[in-house]
Structure formats: C-alpha cells, structure tokens
Amino acid sequence: MNKENLMHGGEFLLKSTRFNDVFIPEEFDEEVKMMTGTCDDFLKAEVFPNLDRIDAQEKGIMENLLKKSGEYGLLGISIPAEYEGFEQNFLTSMRTNESIGAGHSFSVAFMAHTGIGTLPLLYYGNDEQKQKYIPKLASGEMLAAYCLTEPGAGSDANSGTSRAVLSDDGKHYILNGQKMWITNGGFADLLTVFAKIDNDRILSAFLVERKWEGVVINPEEKKMGIKGSSTTQIFFNDVKVPVENLLGKRGEGFRIALNILHIGRIKLGGTVLGACKRAISLSVQYANERKQFGTFISSFGAIKHKIAEQVIKTFATESAVYRASSDVNNMIQYLKDSGKSYGESNIGGVAEFAIEAALLKVFGSESLDFVADEAVQIFGGMGFSSEAPVDRSYRDSRINRIFEGTNEINRLLVIDTLIKKAPKGDFPLFEKASQIIDAINNNSGNNQEVPADFFEENEYYINRFKNAVLMLIYLVDQKYHKTLMSEQEILINLSDMLINVYVCESTLLRIQKHESLKGENNYFRKILDVLIYDAATAIEKSGMDVLNSCAECINAEDYFRALHHFTRVKGKNVKEFRRYIANKIIEDNYYSF
C-alpha cells in the first residue's frame, strides 16, 4: 500500500473518492463467508433457542456460551497465530462482528470480551503479559472485562478517583477504588482496571485477576435491556497487583482508554448491522403472516414505507461501515509495512479514522433504534408483548446510543477532531472552505446544470452537500473561533450534516462499484435516490439552524441562498421508490440486500 493512495481520516470532506478505491461487502470471499456462517450457525444453535434463559440470567449460561464460542474459535478471530488465534484482518473481524451482532445480550458479552476486554492487552501488553493471558482469552479459558467508568466519572473518564500506591517492597501496586457498569463483571477472570498512581493527573492501566484478594463483585444490575448481559459494580480493596501487571507505561492509561474507545465505536457500527437485519427479517415475516381487513398487512402502503425505511438505513449503514473498515485495514497494513509493531499499527490505523468511527457509531446506533422501533410498530399490539421477538430487539437497541461514549459526545468529537486536523499542512480544511466563501461572495458557480447521468447527478448533489458543510464550518469558526467548542448545539448540527454526507457518499460508491462488477441494480439505485432526497432536507434544516445562530454578524441572506442552493435536489417519486424496495424484501421474506 503506497502512502499516496491512502485515505486519511476526515479527508472525504475535502476530496472525491473513486469507487474502485472502496471496499463493498459484496466483495467478501468464500473464506470470510465460511467464518461468518460459523457465527450464524452458533447463534442459531446455541443462542436464539436460549434467549429467555439468557435474559433471566440463569446461573452460568452466559459464561458457558462464551466458553463454547471459544471452542468454536470465535473468540480468537482477530488474535495473532502466535497467541493461538486465527489472525484475521480488520475487515474480517468487522464482518464476523456483524453476524454476532444479531445475538442480543450474547453479542454484548462477546464484544466486551473480544473488544475492550482483550484489545488493551493485545495492543499495549508486553510479551510476557500477552503470552500469559492472550491464549487463554482466545480459547475462552479466561473471560475478560474492562473497568473504566466510576460513579463520578463517566464521559470524563480521567476524573476517576481509583488509586494505586506502590508497596514498600516495590513488588506490588496497592489498588483501591470502585468501578461501575462493568460488562461481564459477574464472571470475568481478567480485568483491565484504570487508576491513577499516587497523585498522577493521568490514569494508568492494570491487569487484575478476579481471584485476587480484595476484588469484590457486587450483585447484578437490573437494566432496561440487554438483560442477559452481566453488568456489575466492582470494588478493589487493597488489591495487591504485581508491578509486572502494569499495562503499558505509567500514565498511559487515558491514551489506552481513548484508543480502545475508537475501536469500540467503529466495531459498534458493524455490530448493529446484525441486529438491524434480524429485526427487518422479523418485521417482514410478521407482515407476511398478519391479516387485517382480509389481506396481509405487507400489502399496505404504510407498512411498505416502514419496511423500506428500515432497509434504506441499514443498507446505508452497511455501506459506510465497510468503506471505513477498509480504510482502517489499509492504514493498519501500511503502518505494519513501515515497521510499526502489531499494537502500534492497529492503534494507529483506527485512531487515524476517529472521525469516521464516531459518526458510524452515531448513525449506526440511531439506525438500529429506528429499525427496532418500526419493527414494534409493524407488529402492532403484539410488538408490545414480551411473547413477540421484537420486544427484546427494542429494549436491547437503546443502550447503543450510550455505549462507547454517548451519541452527543461522539457528535461533538466529530467536529472537534475535524477542526483540530486543520492546522496540519496536509489537511486544508479552511483553505477549501474559504474558496467556497469567495465563490459565494462573487456569486460564481451557481449556474451549473445538474448532470443527466445517474451517478454523476448524485455525485453532484453530494459535492454540494460538502460545500454546505465547509461554508458553515468557516462561518462559525469566524464568529466563535476559540469558544466554538462551547457551542454544542452548533457542533451537533454540523456533525449531523457531516454524517449525512459520509453515509450518502459511501452508499453512492458502493452502488457504483457493485454495478461495475455485477451490472445495474435498480433496487440499490432506488435506495440511493431516497437517501439523497431525505438527506438534502435534513442537511438544509441543520444548516439553517447553524446560520440562524450567527446571522446577526454575517451577510446572512447570501449564505441562506447558498445553503438552499447547495441542498436543492430534483424531485423524486419516493413513495413509489419505497414501495419498489419494500416489495423485494416482502417477496423474499427476509432482509436480502
């Protein structure tokens, strides 16, 4: 992978991407399909028949399921061969995460173990630590949890009060503190615990074994959803942690926590896909069985609208997830080829795409919430009953807007990270934005004709959406500059615009590449038409809110006109387009795209 061909985080806003340079899910090879088939088979055989027992937290059931998934090899998919794993790349791990994502509470436990539970050690541990623990984590002999959050330290993780003090003999850190919302806390054998050494300002990280004296596990928390996931508080009372179990360097814990959260965000974007597709399949199967007024409800226009919207959001999420995952995968490989270590390459590859990871987390979690909500609505009264399967889908979906940093935090992160990249010479954010401002002030570039070609037309719209975002970033920076980060409502508006841009462009690129490989697909084209049509309205609304927030100190009328121009698209018969999309799913009786 040449450096010149690499995509960088946030760069999509400033330059066009060729469809040949993106990866689409239709390109996965037979080996990956076999691995995901194993994941699907495991869910069908071991998880789905036991969902009620899992939600009731029957003693030992989740722990045993995780260990059994280790016997299938599922816990070691991303782990290097030297630690008895399968050493699959980032793209493959994302695809298997998608499959496991349909597993409700099991999915949460699985992702906590393989993600935040295992990756800090895998990426930051020394050889002795990894040799001691990683093979056991890959097999399921040991299960893992991640202990960061405290009662007074949620989004502001570094404000935690847990402390570690070196013992008089210099052989142990004496750890004291309290952690909460610990996934897998009820049974995990190995805990990654974040605490400050002495009076340090910054966290350090420690590998703590559950069996050590002073580790106290509270009873299980009662939750709205993901009821089968073990969630506990854990207390550390004078726990003696061997000095060799310091993970990474002293004071490196906060960096470890942030980088692991980047990974968790993009992986959550993949995980929700499995849940979306399962909820859509349940929706359409019920609609094809339920009769009202003497006919199946799947024939009603209102139901078709719901099914089509479920599909569009899921398809768009999937397009964006695998585009970003491929970019991460390419960056990881480039860093490896440049001589970086395994951990440095994986950390750096994901960190480069922190913007994309955050926006995928937001869009994916909110898409799943929408899909699950509409599934309940399609089921009607039965949807509100715990006897129907979508009750669980609805309850379980809600946590994803809180996991890995709330969606509000992630929206702020998207724009904050983008603007902080601007001073770098290879990221000319404000240079590009000022060109757009000059064009508006000179009243130039407003008379272009919309291209007739399908792909050129939609690329034209997306480029104008980008212009709208750049124009507004420039204007708000001019008004607020150093105080911009305190204007959270404006940042959230800008972030929503950027999310729409990335998702629309990713969907366009996917369809372009798909057609270059397999020929024209009218279903996919209709998905893009509706997506762009709706995004134009959403982008204009967010942009209007931004402009109205700073209209008193700019020549507002020119920019209102420009915004309207940038977000104007041709009218589409979206009612018929949605029916066309829904009819395909209704005929197939499951999510088939």
Q: What is the pLDDT of residues 134-161, one digit of tens each?
A: 999 999 999 999 999 999 876 777 888 9
CA 225/CA 204 separation, integer angstroms:
32
**Per-residue pLDDT at 275 exceeds 90:** yes
Domain count, the chain: 3
Among 290-294, 420-424, 461-465, top mean pLDDT goes to 461-465
- Answer yes or no: is 298 within a domain: no
DSSP letter at 130 equals H
Q: Are 513 and 20 in contact (CB under 8 A)?
A: yes
Catalytic residue among 352, 356, 404, 540: 404
Q: Are 498 and 418 in contact (CB under 8 A)?
A: yes
| Judgement on whether residues 490 and 549 belong to the same structural domain of the protein | yes
Q: What is the pLDDT of residues 428-459, one digit of tens each?
A: 999 999 999 988 888 765 667 889 899 999 99
| Judgement on whether residues 578 and 437 belong to the same structural domain of the protein | yes
Helix (H) or strand (E) holding 500: helix 488-518
The burial of 339, by beta-carbon neighbours within 10 Å (0-12 exposed, 13-18 middle, 19 or more buried), is given as exposed
Percent of the chain with pLDDT over 70: 98
Cα angle value 298/299/300 (rounded, 5°) = 95
Query: CA Rg, the chain, in Å?
Result: 25
Handedness of CA 110, 112, 116, 121 (dihedral sign): negative
Single out the residue in 119, 143, 167 at which a domain terminates: 143
Stretch 247-269: mean pLDDT: 93
Rounded to 5 degrees, φ, ψ at 53 are: -65, -35
* Residue 99, CA distances (Å) to 8, 41, 74 in order: 28, 10, 11
Neighbours of 470 (CB within 10 A): 21
Task: Report the candidate in 410, 426, 446, 431 with the shortest Cα–Cα distance to residue 264.
Answer: 410
pLDDT value, residue 553? 61
**Per-residue pLDDT at 525 exceeds 70:** yes
- Answer yes or no: is 327 within a domain: no
| Judgement on whether residues 534 and 440 belong to the same structural domain of the protein | yes
Cα angle value 477/11/549 (rounded, 5°) = 25
CA 66/CA 141 separation, integer angstroms:
10
**Is-above-0.85 flag for pTM?**
yes
Q: Are 240 and 215 in contact (CB under 8 A)?
A: no
Length of the chain: 593
Ordered DSSP codes for 521-546: -HHHHHHHHHHHHHHHHHHHHHHHHH
Handedness of CA 318, 12, 522, 325 (dihedral sign): negative
pLDDT value, residue 152? 82
| 291, β-bridge pairs | 296
- Answer yes or no: is 155 within a domain: yes
pLDDT value, residue 159? 82
| Judgement on whether residues 74 and 126 belong to the same structural domain of the protein | yes
pLDDT value, residue 36? 96
Q: Are 396 and 226 in contact (CB under 8 A)?
A: yes
DSSP letter at 150 equals B
**Per-residue pLDDT at 5 exceeds 80:** no
pLDDT value, residue 550? 82
| Judgement on whether residues 455 and 559 belong to the same structural domain of the protein | yes
Single out the residue in 84, 116, 143 at which a domain terminates: 143
Give the domain CATH number at 539: 1.20.140.10
Residue 46 falls in the annotated catalytic set: no
CA 181/CA 184 separation, integer angstroms:
9
Q: Are 528 and 447 in contact (CB under 8 A)?
A: no
**Per-residue pLDDT at 188 exceeds 80:** yes
Q: Are 505 and 356 in contact (CB under 8 A)?
A: no
**Amino acid of residue 279:** A
- Answer yes or no: is 475 within a domain: yes
Lowest mean pLDDT among 186-200, 280-294, 543-557: 543-557
Residue recorded with tokens 């076999």:
34
DSSP letter at 146 equals E
What is the phi-psi region of residue 146: left when phi exceeds 0, alpha when psi lies from -120 to 50, beta otherwise? beta
As a whole number, the mean pLDDT across the chain is 94
pLDDT value, residue 85? 94
- Answer yes or no: is 377 within a domain: no
| Judgement on whether residues 135 and 150 belong to the same structural domain of the protein | no
- Answer yes or no: is 397 within a domain: no
Residue, of 3 and 249, whose pLDDT is higher: 249
- Answer yes or no: is 50 within a domain: yes
- Answer yes or no: is 31 within a domain: yes
| Judgement on whether residues 101 and 172 belong to the same structural domain of the protein | no
**Per-residue pLDDT at 182 exceeds 70:** yes
Percent helix, percent strand, percent coil in the chain, to nearest 5? 65, 10, 25
Q: Which domain holds residue 224?
A: 146-253
Banded model confidence at residue 2, pLDDT cuts 50, 70, 90: low
Q: What is the pLDDT of residues 46-55, one digit of tens each?
A: 999 999 999 9
Q: What is the pLDDT of residues 285-325, one digit of tens each?
A: 999 999 999 999 999 999 999 999 999 999 999 999 999 99
DSSP letter at 85 equals S
Give the domain CATH number at 74: 1.10.540.10
**Per-residue pLDDT at 1 exceeds 80:** no
| Judgement on whether residues 565 and 510 belong to the same structural domain of the protein | yes
Question: Residue 216 corresponds to which tokens in the numbers above?
Answer: 């106290």
Single out the residue in 223, 253, 283 at which a domain terminates: 253
Helix (H) or strand (E) holding 87: none
| Judgement on whether residues 222 and 182 belong to the same structural domain of the protein | yes
| Judgement on whether residues 230 and 195 belong to the same structural domain of the protein | yes
- How many CA atoms lie within 13 Å of 394's alpha carbon, on the beta-carbon side? 17
Percent of the chain with pLDDT over 90: 89
| Judgement on whether residues 80 and 159 belong to the same structural domain of the protein | no
End-to-end Cα, the chain, rounded Å: 31
Give the domain CATH number at 215: 2.40.110.10
**Per-residue pLDDT at 556 exceeds 90:** no
| Judgement on whether residues 197 and 239 belong to the same structural domain of the protein | yes
